[in-house]
Amino acid sequence: MPDLRTVYSDLITSGMHLLLLVFAFRANERRVWIGTLAVISVISFFAWFSTNRRRLAIDDHPTAQVTSAPQGYVELFGTCRIPPGNSPVSLRAEEVSLGIGHAWFRYRVDRRSSDRKWAHVRSGCSEQGFMLDDGTGQCYVDPENAEVVTSHKRVWYEEDYRYTEWFIVPHDELYAIGEFTSVNGGGTVGVSDADMRNLLAQWKKDPTEMVRRFDRNNDGQVDGEEWDEARKAAKEELEDRHKETRHQPSIHMMCAPRDGRVFLISNLDPRRLVRKYLFWAWFHLAVFIAAGAVAVGMAAGTLSFLSR
C-alpha cells in the first residue's frame, strides 16, 4: 500500500468513520453503537494528535537559510533542484514508464478484476534525493521516511490497469522540515585522537618509511622521543588537511530526525499546510468529543434512539 501519510490520511480516517457508522446502522443494536462510537472517538483522538503535531512543527519553527541554518531540527523553504550529475527519476513498470521528469514520485498500480473492482497490484516510490535551493545555498534532501505532501497527482488507465502518481518536479517551490547537518567547511572539527590513531596506523604499515623519517639515532627503529616526533608530525599533517577542508564549501543535508520528530516535505506553501492541518485538527477534535459524548450517554442510558 502507498504511504497513507502521503495519500491524504485525514480523508482516509474520515472514510473509516463512515464505514463504521454504516456498520452500526445495519446492526442497529445499542451495544454495537456504543462500541462503534467509542472506536471512532479513539481513532479521532489519535488523528487529532497526529495532525496537530504536524501543525505545531510548522508553526513553532521559523524558516532558516541554508548557509546560516543551525545544526539540528530546521525548517527550510526554497526551490526544488536535481542534484548535479543526476537526472530526473523514472521507473519502467511492465510497459509503462513512471516518474518521468520528476524529482520525486510515489506510484500505485491497480488492476480491475472480473467483478469490476480495483485490486492493488504494487506500489513504491523513488529513493533518489533532490536539492532545496533557497538562494543562499543548496541542501540535499534525503526523502527516506519522509511524509511527502504534494499538490501534483496524475491518474491514467491502460487496458485493465489504473496508474496513479503523486510527484514533485524540478523548480517546484519546496518546503522541508527535518534534521539538518553540514559536513566539511563550517562543519569541520579539530584533530581527534581517532584521527591520530588512524593516520599513525597507516604509517606503521610501512616501517621502512617510518625509520627513514623519524629514526634520528640510526638504530633501525622508532622509539622514545622519535615516536613523540612522529605523533607531532601526524598532528601537523591532519591540521593541514583540515585547513584545506575549511576552505571548501560546506555540504548541507536534511534527513529524518533521529528523535522521531516530524519529517515533512511538501511543494505547498507552509501557510497553506498550516491551514490544512488546523482544519483537520479541529475536525478530528470535534468528532472525538461528539462520538465520545454520545457513546457515554448511550452507555449511561440517557440517550436512546434505537429500536433495540
Query: Could you tell me which residues are beta bridge partners of residue 112?
Result: 118
Q: Is the pLDDT of residue 178 over 50?
A: yes
Element of type H or E holding 182: strand 173-183
User: Which residue carries 591532519 as its cell?
Assistant: 238
Show the cell assigned to 245. 577542508
Q: How far apart are CA 290 and CA 275, in angstroms?
A: 23
Name every residue whose Cβ is closer than 8 Å to that of residue 190 and which is 6 or more positions away in sequence: 242
- Whether the pTM exceeds 0.75: the reply is no
Alpha helices for 156-253 (secondary structure H):
193-204, 207-214, 225-246
Q: Which residues contact 157 (CB under 8 A, 6 or more apart)?
A: 163
Strand 152-158 and strand 96-102: the pairing is unpaired
Give the whole-angstrom CA distance, residue 267 versus residue 285: 27
Q: What is the mean pLDDT of residues 230-240?
A: 83
Element (H, E) at 56: helix 30-59
Percent of the chain, pLDDT > 90? 29
pLDDT at 4 over 90: no
Mapped onto helix, strand or coil, the DSSP state of residue 238 is helix
Least confident of 7-21, 40-54, 219-233: 7-21
Is residue 152 over pLDDT 90?
Answer: yes
* Mean pLDDT of the chain, nearest integer: 81
Q: What confidence score (pLDDT) does residue 220 get?
A: 79
Find the angle CA(39)-CA(41)-CA(47) to the nearest 5 degrees.
105
Question: Is 204 in contact with 227 (CB distance < 8 Å)?
Answer: no
Residue-level pLDDT at 248 = 59
Residue burial 214-230, b: 16+ Cβ < 10 Å; e: rest = beeeeeeebeeebeeeb
pLDDT above 80 (res 306): no
What was the pLDDT predicted at 176?
96
Whole-number pLDDT of residue 179: 95
| Nearest residue to 187 via CA among 255, 252, 259 | 252
SS3 of residue 156 by DSSP: strand
Q: What percent of the chain is modeled with pLDDT above 70?
A: 80
pLDDT per position as a tens digit, 236-266: 887 777 666 555 567 899 999 999 899 999 9
Q: Give which of 166, 122, 133, 123 is closest to 147, Cα–Cα.
A: 166
